[in-house]
């Protein structure tokens, strides 16, 4: 009993974990809070702006840059929907019972990997309003660089695609938190740039 406890305590002290006592948690949380906005800047300014070619070309359908944010919104909703199937398939493949009459009660009793799968799906639902707010705000601002708007929306999808398996794995939770925060700050920048479009140069855009 002592050995597993020591192993868990050692894991909590890992630099890749945000778990542990408050004294060790707060400095790591500050690092995450500063790293995530920086990753947004790097993504927009250096990774997706070179030659205006995105890393995720499929998120810009028909070469119409102005449709990319709405297409990203559709992709996010599909990720959110299909992520609900993952724990169901896992339970079916492992012979676990599922009560479709009371699905939330059944999923609340899950533990381990299937519980993390459900939690990842719930987090995707919670993140949808952030993207909706960003896309709506950006659509009301004609001064926002369309390439920058597309790059920020694509970053939300990119981080969400990495976030889901990171949540399933669950070992290095700081990486998962950085992915979540990066996607969140991408949405914040979408709203911020509609209020201060002249600040687009921070992300390599044009006002």
Query: Is residue 141 within 8 Å of residue 194, measured between CB atoms?
Result: yes
Share of the chain above pLDDT 70, in %: 75
Give exposure, 140-169, as e/b (b: 16+ Cβ within 10 Å).
Answer: eeeebbbbbbbbbbbbbbbbbebbbebbbe
Confidence of residue 200 (pLDDT cuts 50, 70, 90): confident
In angstroms, the CA 111 to CA 2 distance is 22
Locate 156 and state its tokens.
């939300």
Locate 61 and state its tokens.
């359908």
Q: What is the pLDDT of residues 128-168, one digit of tens each?
A: 999 999 999 988 888 888 888 888 998 999 999 999 999 98
In angstroms, the CA 126 to CA 121 distance is 9
Q: How far is CA 94 from CA 97, 117, 120, 168, 171, in A?
A: 9, 14, 19, 16, 22
pLDDT at 158: 93
Lowest mean pLDDT among 71-75, 85-89, 156-160: 85-89
Residue range 190-205: average pLDDT? Answer: 88
pLDDT at 57: 62
Confidence of residue 77 (pLDDT cuts 50, 70, 90): very high
pLDDT at 51: 45
Quote the crossing angle between the two packed helices 146-169 and 173-195, to the nearest 10°. Answer: 160
Rg, Å, the chain Cα set: 19
Q: Pick from 71, 35, 45, 38: which is nearest to 56 by CA?
A: 71
Residue range 76-88: average pLDDT? Answer: 90
**Sequence-ordered list of residues with C-beta below 8 angstroms from that of 39, at least 6 positions apart, any chain:** 178, 182
Residue range 173-183: average pLDDT? Answer: 90
* Mean model confidence pLDDT for the chain: 79
Q: What is the pLDDT of residues 6-61, one digit of tens each?
A: 444 444 445 556 565 555 667 777 777 788 999 999 888 876 654 455 555 666 65
- CATH level 2 (architecture), domain 28-203: Up-down Bundle (1.20)
Enter the pTM of the model: 0.81
pLDDT at 2: 42
Query: Is residue 116 within 8 Å of residue 98, measured between CB atoms?
Result: no
Q: Pick from 92, 89, 83: which is nearest to 165 by CA?
A: 83
Helix, strand, coil in percent for the chain, rounding step 5:
75, 0, 25
pLDDT at 27: 74
182 or 25, which is more confident?
Answer: 182
């Amino acid at each position: 009993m002592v050995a597993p406890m020591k192993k868990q305590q050692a894991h909590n002290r890992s630099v890749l974990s945000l778990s542990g006592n408050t004294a060790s948690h707060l400095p790591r949380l500050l690092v995450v809070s500063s790293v995530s906005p920086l990753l947004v800047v790097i993504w927009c300014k250096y990774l997706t702006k070179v030659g205006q070619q995105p890393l995720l070309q499929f998120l810009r359908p028909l070469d119409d840059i102005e449709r990319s944010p709405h297409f990203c919104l559709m992709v996010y909703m599909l990720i959110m929907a299909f992520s609900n199937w993952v724990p169901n398939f896992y339970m079916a493949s492992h012979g676990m019972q599922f009560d479709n009459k009371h699905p939330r009660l059944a999923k609340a009793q899950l533990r381990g990997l299937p519980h993390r799968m459900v939690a990842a799906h719930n987090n995707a639902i919670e993140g949808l309003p952030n993207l909706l707010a960003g896309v709506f705000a950006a659509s009301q601002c004609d001064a926002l660089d369309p390439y920058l708007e597309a790059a920020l929306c694509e970053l939300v999808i990119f981080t969400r695609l990495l976030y889901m398996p990171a949540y399933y794995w669950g070992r290095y939770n700081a990486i998962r938190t950085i992915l979540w925060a990066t996607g969140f700050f991408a949405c914040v920048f979408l709203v911020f740039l509609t209020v201060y479009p002249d600040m687009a140069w921070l992300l390599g855009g044009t006002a």
